[in-house]
Amino acid sequence: MHPGRELSQVQQDYLVDEIMTWIQKEMDKHEIKEHFDYRR
């Protein structure tokens, strides 16, 4: 990938998959933290 160059469909699909995986992991961590937060 190069700055200023349009991404191919394969590159776009890869990046979307990586970002969605990261978001899901962050959401899972947040849900676990909420579930075990004893300060409530």
Does residue 32 register a pLDDT over 90?
no
Mean of the pLDDT values across residues 7-12? 96
Does residue 25 register a pLDDT over 60?
yes
pLDDT for 7 equals 96
pLDDT tens digits, one per residue of 13-23: 999 999 999 99
pTM of the model: 0.65
Taking the C-alpha atoms of residue 27 and residue 35, their distance in angstroms, rounded to an integer, is: 12
| Cα-to-chain-centroid distance, residue 31 | 15
Q: Percent of the chain beyond pLDDT 70?
A: 78
pLDDT for 8 equals 96
